[in-house]
Structure 1
Amino acid sequence: LRNPDGQQLVLDPNYTLDFEGSSNNCISCHQPRDSYEIPATNSSGLYVVNTSRFGPHHGPQATMLEGILGANLPGSEGYPGVASATHRTASSCVSCHMGESTDTSEGLHSWKTTEAVCLQCHTNGIPSELSGFTEDMITLKSLLENVVGEEFETDADGNPVFDADGNPVGTGVPVVGLIVDFAPDDTDRSNSGIFTVEESQAAWNYKTLLEDQSKGTHNPGYSRALLKNSIEALQN
């Protein structure tokens, strides 16, 4: 099951991600899948979301560490260089998550970081999250919950209808919320509908940051830029 070689990314087959060692094995699973495309600018300025599970899948940790495959919306926060995060250049998946331990509930094959491993670099204390991450995620989700899109027409097979120019055909019925909670135990889902590219990119970033599950600590600079610029895009 070990794979020490660089991994070709599922969502971008032209990119080979190489952590140079045993951490390459982690990339095989911990990357976005190709179920949905990252929303990109197009002539219509619109994007069709046709799923309740829009986003990069449950494990974009490897690409977040690399600083790629978010939707890089323009904004006041600059994006750091690819592969420039300290956790990428001076550490690794294995060294952080499989540290030596006499307690089998942490380190080793538990995949839980140990305090001793973290303190080797974080000598002033171990950060629980990127500063302001929780508050900013609440803000971004609130904005996405209040986005108003439009229902799309469907063909006989239930697929979205597009006109001759490739633009989605709407019904005129509003769709409130791109990211929504369907039930207390079924949260952060997506509504189907026609939304702007910027709204869809912000939703992609929200789900990427949420599914990364490090609260921004894997790659603080990239996480901050995705989060802040997504908020700005929806507020403008």
Structure 2
Amino acid sequence: MKNLKLLSFLMILASSLMFIQCTSDPIAGPQGFPGIDGYVGEDGEDGVAGTATCVSCHNKTHRKPIEDSFPLSKHSTGKTRDGRCAACHSQEGYFAALKGTFNELDYPSGTVLTKKTCTTCHNKHSTFDFENDGYDFALRSFGPVELNQMPGVTIDFNNTSNMCVQCHQPRDAEPSFEADGTYIVTSENNGIGPHYGVNATFMKGIQGYAITGDVAIPGAGDNPHSVLSCTKCHMGDPNTNSQEGFGYDDNGSHTFNPTLNTCIKCHDGLTTFDRNGFQTEILALEEQLKDLMFAKNMAVMGSRRPELITGQVLPKAYVEIFWNYASATSDHSHGIHNPPYTEAMLKNAIQKLNSLPAIP
């Protein structure tokens, strides 16, 4: 019995010693010899700063001319509009139009809307690989644009000018005729026209009716200025420009006023947009056509521009002539956006109207 108790005591003692050994710090061994230091290499070249590309645009030097010129633009000073006009004349409406959710009933008269600001057009970059993808300038939209009033027709300038097409296109549909081809003029439709700012369609030569005459109607690709774009002519480097009172910094950049610096790249020595008197010629043709419409008793002067005479029933040919006049004058470039197309449109309209009798 005593032997059994002794054996149990020895076993408990051995277990305790093992537990103490397992939970105690290990006993350090002898210190080894230190290793040999490695070879010190040469310092490498500094990498490109991660923000270098961003800073090229996002700096005070780059931004100041933009901030100074934008307040001179009609984009910043233009009044907001309600109803369907809000799609282009307000920031909220424009955002909705880009999303395809615009509803003019959401902008009733009296709605307080926001004028265009930097963030109306600029939001965030779609890519930061500018070297391969090109600069998108953080535009909200720069893809091809399907025209609102011309279903199935798309305009693509293949550059950031597509942003301009969103608003600078026809806003009113072409007139609808009766089954016999006549047009009944009412107080609601006597001012037919595509609305102002139809520049994109004029550039493409697809705006007006193809009225035949002595002047051949050029095709959509025959515009000598088709290689240009909205941004090249209207956002170039500013220059001193005496036309229409523009002064230095009143043209180009974010004023969106055209600059001669773009024109002289092709027309050396040009000092005015009225090259060889072409704009003067177009203005004279517009005036001639307007007076002829008055003489033919098909139009009168309205509060802002000529209007068809309410109550008349006009044959289609007269209405097509009036539409082409309204289109040419709504372009506001005096023929520069598409010289051969504008000239053919006006001259053939005058020729056609001269051959028609006056409206009784």
TM range (shorter): 0.7 to 0.9
- Relative to its length, the structure with more helix (as a share) is 2
Q: Could you say which residue in structure 1 is the equivalent of 2:305?
A: 187
- Structure 2 unmatched runs, 5+: 1-120, 122-138, 240-247, 356-360
Aligned 8 A contact 2:260 2:273 in 1: no
Runs of 4+ in structure 1 over 4 Å off: none
Which AA in structure 2 matches 1:107?
A: G
Q: Does 1:177 align with 2:298?
A: yes
Query: What RMSD in Å do the two structures reach over aligned CA positions?
Result: 2.0
Once the two structures are superposed, what CA deviation does each residue of 1:7-49 show, in whole Å capped at 9, x if it has no partner? 001111111110111100111111112x332567x76231233
Offset, 1:189: 3.1
The aligned residue for residue 217 of structure 1 is 336
Instruction: State the number of aligned residues.
Output: 202
Q: CA deviation at 1:52?
A: 3.6
- Flag the 1:14–1:23 CA change in 2: closer, same or farther, 3 A: same
The structural deviation recorded for 1:198 is 0.9
Q: 1:65-144 maps to which residues of 2 (within 5 A)?
A: 65-88=203-226, 90-101=227-238, 103-125=248-270, 126-128=272-274, 129-130=278-279, 132-144=281-293
- Please give the per-residue CA displacement for 1:52-99, whole angstroms capped at 9, x wherever unaligned: 4210111111000100020111111111111321221x2110000000
Q: Which of 179, 182, 197 is 1:46 aligned to?
A: 182
Q: Aligned with 2:184: secondary structure? A: strand
* SS state at 1:58 partner: coil
| 1:161-204 Cα shifts (integer Å, max 9, x gaps) | xxxxxxxxxxxxxxx432x2135xx3323333321111101100
Distance 2:347 2:279 in 1: 12
The answer (yes or no) to whether the contact 2:298–2:318 under 8 Å persists in 1 is no
Could you say what secondary structure the match of 2:326 adopts?
helix
The equivalent residue for 1:64 is: 202
Give the TM-score of the pair, scaled to structure 1.
Answer: 0.78
Where relative contact order (Cα < 8 A, 6+ residues apart) is larger, the structure is 1
Q: Is 1:206–1:227's contact at 8 Å kept on the other side of the alignment? A: yes
Query: How many percent identity over aligned positions?
Result: 31
How far did residue 114 of structure 1 move?
Answer: 1.7
Q: Which runs of 5+ in 1 are unaligned?
A: 148-175
Normalized per residue, the structure richer in strand is 1
- Say if 1:107 and 1:114, in contact at 8 Å, map to a contact too: yes
Distance 2:176 2:345 in 1: 14
SS in 2 for 1:195: strand
